[in-house]
């Protein structure tokens, strides 16, 4: 796990409210507190910056107040009209998304009525890009989206979900309705990545349209592919160099090679169609947060595509359990599984989690639509791989919503 912009991770064992809520705006922490009468929810992980980042000077506080003077923050609801005021009052309207928040910034002399709807099956990402957010968002202003003093389409990233992605390369794309393809082009407007806010900004002259959030494939998958190729060459060189070593070491190396034969490690992207080839044992590794990372293993005689959408848990865990990761992972495959497929849903936990709980008690759960609960039995063959710091569940079908849990009694 990389902590490039964090100075510490502090683990605590607060309990959260009976129903989880969205992360606070522009928050990089899971700040889930205990309420009287609340039910145990999550092994909390709070990411704490150093003192200079947390404590503002009086001058900084005054500066922020001046910057925000006259601005209005509005929590929007998808598919629900929002009345925006005229008079050049700046209004920022945020909407929940899978990996952050979609935001419309509006300022104009005349009032408008804003409606934002979510498209859960958007058009494909532009060539060379992959979607960071699985949904796109349709922005409609009943009185027109132009004639603006200020218009911005923003996305505020939840870095705990996307900690392995170079967000500074992210882009906002707009759907071309004539071709049904997303366009990423400087002609759409000025683009700015605000690192302190974990936010990508597109300044536009017309807010109307459908927008998606993307990242260049080279920001993750390409580099990993190069690394894998280099690793394969290095393994070959090492194998040659080790020729003639003593028999015991040679046998051990041969055993490791046999175990890994045909397997490849690939960077998976949340919200994107991750392709897996036929007859290739593929391990899709998704971006880690402070609790750990998801891995999906696939080996089949048929190629497939795998879509993984993370979100905050929307129901309580089973009685007496906590969510190890506040995120659940919904997996959707293009093709149904075949007999003889090797399919696994794995979770690799961090050293901090390992120090906080008895990891041998960890278990996976799958959401059962009939009971509206996560179930932990009869969902597959579970194995705790201590040497890998990993929970591994062999399944007959990857499709479904998955979570990772621990009994409350496992807290250390």
- Our CA dihedral for 200, 205, 210, 212, rounded to 10 degrees, sits at -20
pLDDT in tens, 185-207: 999 999 999 999 999 999 999 99
pLDDT at 251: 54
- Same domain membership, residue 199 and residue 96: yes
Alpha carbon distance 68, 339 (integer Å)? 59
pLDDT at 130: 87
- Same domain membership, residue 357 and residue 281: yes
Question: Which among 157, 187, 192 is positioned nearest to 171, based on CA atoms?
Answer: 192
- Same domain membership, residue 323 and residue 209: no
- Same domain membership, residue 214 and residue 75: yes
Strand ranges (E), 217-337:
263-267, 274-276, 281-285, 292-299, 304-312, 321-323, 327-333
pLDDT at 36: 28
- Same domain membership, residue 387 and residue 290: yes
The whole-angstrom distance between residue 163's C-alpha and the CA centroid of its chain comes to: 8
Which of the residues in the chain have pLDDT under 70? 1-70, 163-164, 218-262
Alpha carbon distance 141, 196 (integer Å)? 29
Instruction: State how far the alpha carbon of 399 is from the alpha carbons of 29, 98, 184, 201, in Å.
Output: 29, 18, 31, 34
pLDDT at 217: 80
- Same domain membership, residue 207 and residue 78: yes
CATH number, position 334: 2.60.220.30
- Same domain membership, residue 213 and residue 116: yes
Report if residue 268 sits inside a domain: yes
pTM of the model: 0.49
pLDDT at 269: 85
Domain that holds residue 133: 70-218
Report if residue 5 sits inside a domain: no
| 38, 20 contact by CB (below 8 A) | no
Please say whether the dihedral angle defined by the alpha carbons of residues 229, 288, 290 and 396, taken in this order, is positive or negative.
Answer: negative
For 228, list phi and psi in degrees, rounded to 5: -65, -40
Report if residue 310 sits inside a domain: yes
- Same domain membership, residue 154 and residue 93: yes
Q: Which domain-ending residue is among 218, 233, 249?
A: 218
Q: Which domain-ending residue is among 218, 242, 271?
A: 218
Report if residue 303 sits inside a domain: yes
- Same domain membership, residue 295 and residue 194: no
Report if residue 307 sits inside a domain: yes
Alpha carbon distance 296, 306 (integer Å)? 9
pLDDT at 92: 96
pLDDT at 43: 66
Report if residue 405 sits inside a domain: yes
Q: Looking at the 3D structure of the chain, how many domains does it have?
A: 2
Please say whether the dihedral angle defined by the alpha carbons of residues 216, 310, 283 and 293, taken in this order, is positive or negative.
Answer: positive
Report if residue 338 sits inside a domain: yes
DSSP 56: P
Residue 201's contacts (CB-CB under 8 Å, 6 or more residues apart) are 152, 153, 154, 172, 191, 192, 193, 194
- Same domain membership, residue 401 and residue 309: yes
Report if residue 231 sits inside a domain: no
- Same domain membership, residue 267 and residue 208: no
- Same domain membership, residue 277 and residue 383: yes
Q: Which domain-ending residue is among 187, 218, 249?
A: 218
């Amino acid at each position: 796990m990389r902590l490039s912009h964090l100075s510490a991770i502090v683990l605590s064992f607060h309990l959260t409210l009976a129903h989880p809520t969205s992360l606070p705006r522009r928050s990089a922490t899971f700040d889930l507190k205990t309420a009287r009468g609340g039910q145990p929810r999550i092994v909390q992980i709070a990411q704490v910056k150093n003192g200079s980042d947390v404590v503002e000077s009086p001058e900084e506080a005054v500066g922020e107040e001046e910057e925000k003077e006259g601005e209005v923050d509005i929590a929007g609801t998808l598919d629900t009209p929002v009345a925006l005021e005229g008079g050049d009052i700046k209004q920022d309207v945020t909407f929940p998304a899978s990996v952050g928040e979609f935001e419309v910034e509006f300022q104009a002399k005349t009032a408008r009525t804003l409606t934002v709807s979510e498209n859960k099956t958007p058009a494909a990402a532009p060539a060379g890009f992959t979607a960071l957010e699985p949904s796109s968002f349709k922005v409609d202003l009943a009185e027109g989206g132009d004639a603006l003093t200020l218009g911005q389409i923003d996305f505020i990233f939840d870095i705990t979900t996307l900690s392995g992605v170079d967000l500074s390369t992210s882009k906002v794309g707009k759907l071309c309705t004539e071709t049904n393809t997303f366009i990423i082009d400087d002609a759409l407007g000025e683009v700015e990545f605000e690192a302190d806010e974990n936010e990508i900004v597109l300044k536009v002259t017309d807010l109307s349209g459908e927008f998606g959030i993307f990242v260049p494939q080279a920001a993750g998958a390409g580099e990993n592919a190069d690394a894998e190729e280099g690793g394969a060459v290095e393994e070959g060189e090492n194998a040659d160099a080790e020729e003639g070593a003593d028999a015991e070491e040679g046998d051990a190396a041969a055993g490791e090679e046999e175990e890994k034969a045909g397997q490849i490690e690939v960077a998976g992207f949340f919200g994107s169609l991750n392709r897996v080839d036929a007859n290739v044992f593929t391990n899709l590794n998704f971006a880690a947060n402070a609790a750990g990372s998801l891995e999906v293993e696939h080996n089949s005689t048929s190629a497939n595509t795998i879509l993984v959408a993370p979100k905050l848990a929307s129901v309580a865990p089973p009685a007496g359990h906590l969510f190890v990761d506040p995120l659940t992972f919904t997996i959707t495959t293009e093709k149904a599984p075949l007999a003889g497929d090797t399919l696994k849903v794995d979770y690799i936990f961090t050293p901090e989690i390992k120090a906080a709980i008895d990891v041998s008690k960890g278990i996976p759960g799958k959401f059962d639509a009939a009971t509206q609960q996560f179930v932990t039995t009869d969902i597959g063959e579970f194995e705790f791989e201590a040497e890998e710091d990993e929970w591994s569940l062999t399944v007959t079908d990857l499709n479904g919503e998955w979570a990772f849990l621990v009994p409350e009694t496992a807290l250390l």
